[in-house]
């Protein structure tokens, strides 16, 4: 009996870093769900159903923003603090806080823990990983602090000092972590601040900074010590800028004359609203215009942006900007008759290309399957089902009004999708990489041909 128990414990410690991350997030979600079911967590003192609490905890931990009950009116201050804590821990990763606690207690961060952190941030190596964690915490608190101060000054126009400070902190953390939760009530998001450029641009800036990845932020800040940016940083910055600009231009064109969204706004407010509508699908989930009243073209554009998502090592989800760029450049190189994928005169190794293709196909299949499930269990239109499934996978949080009316099966499907979306690249792709075995003998099977295209 003792030997068997010892063997089981040994197997636990032999878990791969990606598996520990998955279990860690699951444990955090379960803890959050238990806390949210307590009567103290609801505003009216009633017990919230476990499924609704689990849905909310998953959405918060996976920094999504989809909610079945309104955050501002259903949850008490205690419940809201639980939610924002889950958002902060889920956005930065529970290993970040575990490392911080270990440093405070003077404990050594083991090699196993360093490997887990490397997986969490998609870092290239474990060298300097502990310093990176500390750097990330400082950057996060600084950016969130500045955002909270700016937002507080704007909330003071509508709320008391205490409420404004609380709202400023909550929405700054939620925005930087790309969560999409808000306390403004009645599922209306930031629609009441559509003409407030300071609120819109501040939230948009927080979303972008949280979505480009901590490694990119650290490199940009420390650029003076480097001669040039790495290829990863170049790709992330250029792709992000391109998607924001293109998305804003298209959204401006699609919604310009729509009286239910931007039609009645001034030209300046239309431009700001277009920028916000282009930024927020990149896994943030906030909105200043009604998503349900957008044109079909605007909604479909949002779906595309949600599927692409943010960048690796960030608080966002989706297939990631770098994945999209690798796929695009691979297509361009094939058209031009080149054997290798090249970006900025750098050759991308074939494993990265294979991984990009795998991520995209697996993600696409997941969205299709969930869309099909929702079409069976829920009442609505196809665009609502596809929008909901993509929003859950991309950990975005935008909805066309379907989330509050989900059936139990629909809620479970979205919970699984949010979880898979937050850990997708790790659990669905990197897990395969760890199964590769290095051997002295390389076996190559005979080559054959299949017609393609």
Residue 57, strand partner residues: none
| Residue 54 CB partners (closer than 8 Å, separation 6+) | 29, 30, 33, 415
Tell me how far apart the alpha carbons of residues 450 and 433 are, in angstroms, rounded to a whole number: 26
Task: Identify the helix (H) or strand (E) that includes residue 2.
Answer: helix 2-13
Least confident of 37-46, 192-201, 280-289, 411-420: 280-289
Cα 29–chain centre separation: 16
| Residue 277 DSSP class | H
Task: Give the model's pLDDT for residue 36.
Answer: 95
Tell me how far apart the alpha carbons of residues 353 and 180 are, in angstroms, rounded to a whole number: 31
Q: Give me the mean pLDDT over the 72-97 stretch.
A: 85
Query: How many Cα neighbours within 13 Å face the side chain of 229?
Result: 16
| Residue 57: band (very low, low, confident or very high) from pLDDT cuts 50, 70, 90 | very high
| Residue 221: band (very low, low, confident or very high) from pLDDT cuts 50, 70, 90 | confident
More confident residue, 108 or 261: 261
pTM here? 0.86
Domain residue limits, the chain: 14-430
| Residue 410 CB partners (closer than 8 Å, separation 6+) | 373, 374, 377, 378
Least confident of 124-138, 266-280, 392-406: 124-138
> Which of these, 174, 6, 23, 167, lies nearest to 86 by C-alpha position?
174
Q: What percent of the chain has pLDDT over 70?
A: 82
Per the structure block, which two tokens stand in for 78? 């205690």
* C-alpha distance across the termini of the chain, in Å: 59
> Which of these, 269, 307, 310, 273, lies nearest to 293 by C-alpha position?
273
Task: Give the model's pLDDT for residue 422.
Answer: 82
Q: Give me the mean pLDDT over the 56-81 stretch.
A: 92
| Residue 21: band (very low, low, confident or very high) from pLDDT cuts 50, 70, 90 | confident
Task: Give the model's pLDDT for residue 218.
Answer: 80
Per the structure block, which two tokens stand in for 150? 């700016």
What does each C-alpha distance from 157 to 132, 166, 187 come to in angstroms? 38, 14, 21
Q: With beta carbons less than 8 A apart as the criterion, state whether 366 and 423 touch.
A: no
Please give the backbone phi and psi of residue 347, each rounded to the nearest 5 degrees, phi first: -90, 130
Tell me how far apart the alpha carbons of residues 148 and 44 are, in angstroms, rounded to a whole number: 28
Task: Give the model's pLDDT for residue 428.
Answer: 53
């Amino acid at each position: 009996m003792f030997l068997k128990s010892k063997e089981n414990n040994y197997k636990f410690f032999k878990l791969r870093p990606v598996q520990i991350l998955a279990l860690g997030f699951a444990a955090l979600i379960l803890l959050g769900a238990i806390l949210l079911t307590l009567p103290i967590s609801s505003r009216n003192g009633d017990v919230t159903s476990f499924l609704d609490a689990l849905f909310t905890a998953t959405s918060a931990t996976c920094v999504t923003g989809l909610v079945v009950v309104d955050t501002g009116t259903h949850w008490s201050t205690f419940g809201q603090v639980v939610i924002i804590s889950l958002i902060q821990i889920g956005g930065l990763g529970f290993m970040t806080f575990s490392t911080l606690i270990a440093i405070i207690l003077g404990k050594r961060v083991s090699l196993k823990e360093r490997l887990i952190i490397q997986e969490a941030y998609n870092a290239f190596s474990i060298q300097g990983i502990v310093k990176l964690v500390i750097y990330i915490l400082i950057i996060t608190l600084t950016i969130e602090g500045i955002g909270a101060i700016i937002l507080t000054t704007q909330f003071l126009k509508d709320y008391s000092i205490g409420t404004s400070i609380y709202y400023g902190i909550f929405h700054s953390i939620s925005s930087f972590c790309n969560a999409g939760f808000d306390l403004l009530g009645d599922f209306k998001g930031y629609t009441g601040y559509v003409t407030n450029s300071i609120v819109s641009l501040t939230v948009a800036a927080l979303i972008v900074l949280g979505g480009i990845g901590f490694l990119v932020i650290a490199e940009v800040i420390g650029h003076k010590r480097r001669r040039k940016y790495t290829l990863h940083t170049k790709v992330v910055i250029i792709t992000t800028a391109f998607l924001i600009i293109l998305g804003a231009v298209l959204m401006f064109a699609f919604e310009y004359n729509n009286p239910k969204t931007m039609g009645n706004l001034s030209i300046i407010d239309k431009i700001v609203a277009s920028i916000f509508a282009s930024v927020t699908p990149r896994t943030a989930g906030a909105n200043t215009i009604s998503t349900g009243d957008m044109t079909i073209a605007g909604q479909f554009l949002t779906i595309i942006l949600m599927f692409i998502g943010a960048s690796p090592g960030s608080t966002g989800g989706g297939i990631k900007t770098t994945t999209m760029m690798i796929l695009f450049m691979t297509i361009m190189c094939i058209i031009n008759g080149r054997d290798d994928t090249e970006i900025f005169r750098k050759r991308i190794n074939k494993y990265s290309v294979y991984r990009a293709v795998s991520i995209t196909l697996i993600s696409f299949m997941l969205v299709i399957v969930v869309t099909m499930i929702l079409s069976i269990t829920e009442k609505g239109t196809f665009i609502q089902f596809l929008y909901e499934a993509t929003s859950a996978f991309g950990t975005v949080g935008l909805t066309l009004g379907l989330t509050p009316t989900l059936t139990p099966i629909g809620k479970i499907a979205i919970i699984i999708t949010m979880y898979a979306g937050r850990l997708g690249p790790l659990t669905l792709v990197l897990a395969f990489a760890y199964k590769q075995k290095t051997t002295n003998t390389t076996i190559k099977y005979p080559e054959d041909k299949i017609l393609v295209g």
